[in-house]
Amino acid sequence: MIPSLRRIWGLVYRHVALYRRSWPRLLELAYWPVLNMCIWGFTANFLTGRLGNAAMLAGAAVMGGVLLWEVTVRGQMGMAISFLEEIWSRNLGHVFVSPLRPWELIAALIVMSILRMLAGVVPAVLLAWWLFAFNLFSLGPVLVLFFMNMIAMGWWVALGVVSLILRHGSGAEPLAWGVLFGLAPFSAVFYPVSVLPAVVQPIALALPAAHVFEGMRGILLDGVVSYGHLAAATGLNILWLGAASALFAHQFQQARIRGALLSIGE
């Protein structure tokens, strides 16, 4: 195996071994996505019963929004929490004195983010199908592009969080859980960008998620695939990923200068 891939696998194996032996961790991965799906699914069912077809379409848009938003949330948390696991186990010193390159660390965190996202979102997608007859795959092949854009947004947000943890230590840990909730109102998960006040709309349009959700609603409500929104989401993700990577590289080097890698988490 190529040495780089082997080092990435080494770190992934470390997390897989951890989850294999910890059912509370495994349960936690699916707990919130499934809970969210149930709450919104039953709400949509109730409204459909009272208000008819229009509510049914809105319900489908809401459930699609819940599931795709979970892709970002679980992807972001999967990456940031996998990094925090190294801090909590006081293992970071050993990892950083090994030949593991910083980009290999990021690659391993991305793999973990995908695995954790799948463990969380797949049960919720299946539950939506079984309980609420909502088939996310009815969005068609474009769903793959939606998924990729949503998880990519999770990665750059997580890279920002990891950078802040490198800068501010354990004081920045809560961001690993809460940061995306702050972006949710601007991400147009359940409503179109046009609903937002004009002054806030540029913020929403700078977020890839807003474009993905606009695209998703276009398919579910109007049957139209908006490639413009898809292209905007992809372009924005590339820009944000580049910026977050530069921030991470800078903070990692600063942590090496300040000696923070020795004391992080204390």
Binding residues for another protein restricted to 241-260, rule: CB under 8 A: 253, 256-259
Binding residues for another protein restricted to 91-130, rule: CB under 8 A: 91, 93-101
- Burial tier of 70 (Cβ tally within 10 Å: 0-12, 13-18, 19+): buried
Question: Is 4 or 201 the residue whose CB approaches another protein more closely?
Answer: 4
DSSP 133-152: ---GGGG-THHHHHHHHHHH
Per the rule left: phi > 0, alpha: psi between -120 and 50, beta: everything else, 191 is beta
**CB of 115: closest distance to another protein in angstroms?**
16
How far is it, in rounded angstroms, from Cα 150 to Cα 183? 13
In 3-state terms the chain splits into helix, strand, coil percentages (rounded to 5) of 85, 0, 15
**CB of 258: closest distance to another protein in angstroms?**
7
Question: Is 9 or 129 the residue whose CB approaches another protein more closely?
Answer: 9
**CB of 243: closest distance to another protein in angstroms?**
24
Question: Is 15 or 229 the residue whose CB approaches another protein more closely?
Answer: 15
Q: Does 87 bind another protein (CB under 8 A)?
A: no
- Helix 227-258 and helix 208-217, axial crossing angle in degrees, nearest 10: 160
Q: Does 262 bind another protein (CB under 8 A)?
A: yes
Closest Cα to residue 128, out of 46, 28, 44, 240? 44
How far is it, in rounded angstroms, from Cα 232 to Cα 210? 10
- Helix 142-168 and helix 53-88, axial crossing angle in degrees, nearest 10: 40
Stretch that binds another protein, among 4-12, 126-134, 168-176, 198-206 (CB under 8 A): 4-12
DSSP 160-210: HHHHHHHHHGGGGTTHHHHHHHHHGGGTTSSS-GGGS-TTTHHHHHTSHHH
Question: Is 23 or 130 the residue whose CB approaches another protein more closely?
Answer: 23
C-beta separation of 121 from 67 below 8 A: yes
Which residue among 13, 103, 137, 227 contacts another protein (CB under 8 A)? 13
Question: Is 4 or 36 the residue whose CB approaches another protein more closely?
Answer: 4
Which residue among 51, 89, 182, 238 contacts another protein (CB under 8 A)? 89
Question: Is 13 or 227 the residue whose CB approaches another protein more closely?
Answer: 13
Q: Does 196 bind another protein (CB under 8 A)?
A: no
Q: Does 32 bind another protein (CB under 8 A)?
A: no
Q: Does 239 bind another protein (CB under 8 A)?
A: no
Question: Is 20 or 174 the residue whose CB approaches another protein more closely?
Answer: 20
Binding site for another protein (CB under 8 A): 3, 6-7, 9-11, 13-14, 17-18, 21-22, 85, 89-91, 93-101, 253, 256-259, 261-262
